[in-house]
Amino acid sequence: MRAHALIAAALLLSFPALASADVATTRVLQQSLQRLQNAQRSGPAIPPTTLSGLQESLQMMTRDQVNPAIFQVDKAIFDARMAGLQEQRQSIHQQTGLSKLQQQVHSLTSQHQALQNEYARLRQQLASKTMTSAQTQHLQTEIQQQKQMLQAEEKHLASLAKQPPSSLNGISSSAAITSTSTTSLPAYGKALTVYAQVQAASDGVHVSMPADSLFGSDNRLSNDGEQRLQAISRILKQSNAHEILVRVAPQPLGANAATQRAEAILRNLRRNGVPDQSLALATGSGLAAGTAELLLVNASPTS
């Protein structure tokens, strides 16, 4: 503030002709000086070159105040330089504002990119968890289904084991044990009597069942038939049979139907773990009508 007052005082003292100027001119000169002082106080520092030009214009206005025409020219120069200072300051202000805006845009862009990356990461995690959850749920469902099937099978087998052979579900009384003596059968043969008619002979052990107890209305195994063969398979795997011949008596639909049924039985035994090398198909000629048979060849009747 003192610096501004000193500048004004220096300008006035350096031109004593100010006293002889008219009141209007003096007022204009004072107003111009006040404008420069306000500009110095209200904004950033005026560049030295610009400040020097403004001070020079004030000196010329002070010197030429006694000549109204020249004074007006000096005032116009001063006004132009003040206008230039204002434009310069506005330009600086705009550049500063633009720079801040650019910084904000850059910051927002960085934040946006970071959010996009985080969003992608969270989506990946969600997809991974969803997939894992679905796989776990599917596995649990399969385990539960297998558990239920196993429990149902165990209950079914337990009920079959408690019933006399002649009253087994799905097996006619002719399929029950009618062998002359179960004491001549091997241990696995005695176990098979729960599910079929078993007889030891010179050519091996004959395991006979009604074909209708294994199949439905077509040549596909029924659910009861699959469960029966699954139980039989567990016993056959404990046998010492060198070869297991699968035979089905000729069907009313022809030899092809008997062959298809025999193949279905063989495939089921193979799926249930009976060694493939011991399984073979054989003709059903000589079997009683409606009979399916497994002939265990080279099986010791007393083992």
**pLDDT tens-digit readout, 227-259:** 999 999 999 988 878 899 999 988 776 668 888
pLDDT at 175: 37
The Cα 223–Cα 272 span in angstroms is 14
Residue 222 token pair: 């029924």
**Residue carrying the six token digits 């009618």:** 178
- What average pLDDT does this structure show over 103-110? 84
- The arithmetic mean of pLDDT across residues 149-169, rounded, is 54
pLDDT, residue 216, reads 83
Mind listing the pLDDT tens digit for each residue in 172-194?
A: 333 333 444 445 777 787 888 98
Distant-in-sequence contacts of 274-282, Cβ < 8 A, 24+ apart: 274/233, 274/236, 274/237, 274/244, 275/237, 278/241, 278/242, 278/243, 278/244, 279/244, 279/246, 280/243, 280/244, 280/245, 280/246, 281/245, 281/246, 281/247, 282/245, 282/246, 282/247
R_g of the chain computed on alpha carbons? 57
